[in-house]
Amino acid sequence: MNTQRLAVITGGSSGIGLELARRFGRHGYDLVIGGQDSPKLEGAAALLRRETGREVWTAPADLAQSDGVERFYERVREIGRPVDAFCANAGVGVGGGDFSQTDLDAELRLIDLDVRSQVHLTKLIVRDMVARGSGRILFTSSISALMPGPFEAVYSASKMFIRSFAEALRNEMAPKGIVVTALLPGPTDTDFFHRAGMDGTPVGDGAKDDPAEVARQGFEALMADRHHVIAESLKTKIQAAATNLMSDPMLAQVHRRMSEPKAARRQASSRQASSGSLVFMGTSLALVALLTTAAIVKPGRRMAGDARDGHYRS
């Protein structure tokens, strides 16, 4: 009987997905990685085999299509091994303009990949885990799940769905032996913003977190049975803290400052000046929140993002 552990990772050919695959491989898991670009996927698999010494299978499929999800799942079943860990990581963004300007087909495809495929594939995999009485699932959401997202409205809404979905599944699946964790990264150094048409925006052109560190924190949170983790940098954690202190309209304006294209910003200079004060206010409130938390949380305790099911652990 083969007792080796198996991790399945969608969007595993680059970015956070590839780094998650590295992390699982280095911790003794064999791997199945998914992606739409077969040559790129095979290249990533060869790299992972060299670096980790583990068995690596590829599952090329377009998960934005229902039959692609079914093909992916059948490929996993063909391997003949139970799935010990599933990372629902595949996703895309759409930006570059306001909702009246962005491409409807691209946004509907985003919903198909970032939402519909996650529900479809998780349904198939979680039933196998429940039948076995064990398994771990990591959903890649986003810090965008904590605020409205002007100029990437559909993407932010999709990540809000994934965060809520993950937290609800965690509650449902815990009695069945399944661990579910949501990973909420901030802006990360991948091709995401370029593919989303967000070059030239402050967030697209700004400093970004290391995908390897994001993956490390996600992996460790999953293994520690934490309900979610804000990853990776202190800046990202401060931004997350600020969301508890600001109204949705204020948060939307702050997000707008990060994601609004240059042309739109030039056309709204007066609005930009007003929102600039809100950015300053948000940053100040976040800093106050961080300092207050540091003052009241005793050494050895974790912040809310590191808590188990919303409660502090000593």
Domains of the chain: 5-233 (3.40.50.720)
pLDDT band per the 50, 70, 90 thresholds, residue 129? very high
Q: What is the mean pLDDT of the chain?
A: 86
Q: Which residues pair with 61 in a beta bridge?
A: none
pLDDT of residue 14: 95
* pLDDT of 206 higher than 50: yes
Q: Which amino acid is at 152?
A: E
The residue ranking higher by pLDDT, 301 or 61, is 61
pLDDT of residue 275: 45
pLDDT band per the 50, 70, 90 thresholds, residue 30? very high
pLDDT of residue 114: 97
Q: Which amino acid is at 170?
A: R
Question: Roughly how many angstroms between the first and final C-alpha of the chain, as a whole number?
Answer: 39
pLDDT of residue 201: 87
pLDDT of residue 278: 47
pLDDT band per the 50, 70, 90 thresholds, residue 200? confident
Which percentage of the chain shows pLDDT scores above 70? Answer: 82
Q: What is the pLDDT of residues 263-310, one digit of tens each?
A: 766 666 544 444 444 444 444 444 444 444 444 333 333 433 443 343
Which percentage of the chain shows pLDDT scores above 90? Answer: 68
Q: What is the pLDDT of residues 158-198, one digit of tens each?
A: 999 999 999 999 999 999 999 999 999 998 888 888 888 88
pLDDT band per the 50, 70, 90 thresholds, residue 92? very high
* pLDDT of 52 higher than 90: yes
Give the least confident one: 111-115, 255-259, 274-278. Answer: 274-278
pLDDT of residue 268: 60
pLDDT of residue 272: 47
Task: Answer yes or no: are the C-beta atoms of 61 and 112 closer than 8 Å.
Answer: no
The residue ranking higher by pLDDT, 245 or 312, is 245
Task: Give this prediction's pTM.
Answer: 0.84
